[in-house]
Amino acid sequence: MSAGPGIFHEPLAHVDQWDDFVAGRYREGRESKDFRNYDREANPSIAEFYRQNHAHQSLAFVLEKEREYGSLQRGRRSIWEAAEYLNTLVDESDPDTDLSQIEHLLQTSEAIRADGHPRWFVLTGFIHDLGKVLCLYGEPQWAVVGDTFPVGCAWSDAVIFHEYFAANPDARVTEYQTLNGIYEPHCGLDRVHMSWGHDEYIYRVTKNHLPEPAQYMLRYHSFYAAHRHGAYRHLMSAHDEEMFDWVRKFNPYDLYSKGASRPSLKELRPWYEDLIAEFFPEPIDW
């Protein structure tokens, strides 16, 4: 079944509403047990979003999307062109006050730059959400954003709104409901199919151009159950464990850079054009 545009009621005013929700969830000083206490009444549109996500992200759906997008047939674009394309995704309910997509990317990357991290790390901050162009291809919100999780094995209760998985068709496949499911213990995350979304897509588009820590940051930045809650270690290799230090290093820049002052696109653009040219000398396939 293909999930085209318009088939699903889109519960969020904008996909960034999910990002804001996650930032609030991990607000500093918040007890980690609190994250289990979200309910439909307090966050109705967020809850509806997760209900759809958990009901539809099955192994079959993920395999279909990996096939559909894995061969990168959506045209050639430079990184900057992709950022401008993503910028056409506006929050219709709130067009003035919301940060543009490029501004969120620049706030993230500028915070990384200000801390003196290497150029590839800054670039990773700038591109990390470009996979949200999936929205512009007509994918429903639940197939673009949301906490990601492995499919084809039991869902950890560290995944928020875990109870909604009961409606997923995989709940009725015994083989997928054991701890390791279709995988070998500690097989490494590269062998594990993750729920489909903007993380996996931007990883696939850019992987040949960036160092491995950057690939991990892009691919697993929404895998909160693992990088925040320590779940799914039974599927991770020793190498994954090492690389997740980088995923954890990246996460605060994604979550907490939004309050920073508005970056000046005009001033920053030449510096970023140089940075992009260093790693992506040519347009790439999307």
147 phi and psi angles, rounded to 5 deg? -60, 135
Look-up: residue for tokens 């940075």? Answer: 275
CB of 205 vs Fe ion, minimal distance in Å:
14
CB of 31 vs Fe ion, minimal distance in Å:
24
CB of 128 vs Fe ion, minimal distance in Å:
6
Q: Nearer to Fe ion by C-beta: 129 or 170?
A: 129
CB of 5 vs Fe ion, minimal distance in Å:
21
CB of 238 vs Fe ion, minimal distance in Å:
26
Q: Nearer to Fe ion by C-beta: 98 or 170?
A: 98
Q: Nearer to Fe ion by C-beta: 48 or 254?
A: 254
Q: Nearer to Fe ion by C-beta: 149 or 183?
A: 149
Q: Nearer to Fe ion by C-beta: 199 or 240?
A: 199
Q: Nearer to Fe ion by C-beta: 183 or 223?
A: 223
Q: Nearer to Fe ion by C-beta: 117 or 234?
A: 117
Residue 264: what residue type? S
What's the rounded Cα separation, in Å, for the pair 40 and 258?
26
CB of 206 vs Fe ion, minimal distance in Å:
14
Residue numbers at the binding site for Fe ion (CB under 5 A)? 129, 254
For 177, the token pair is 């409901």
CB of 171 vs Fe ion, minimal distance in Å:
27
What's the rounded Cα separation, in Å, for the pair 243 and 117?
16
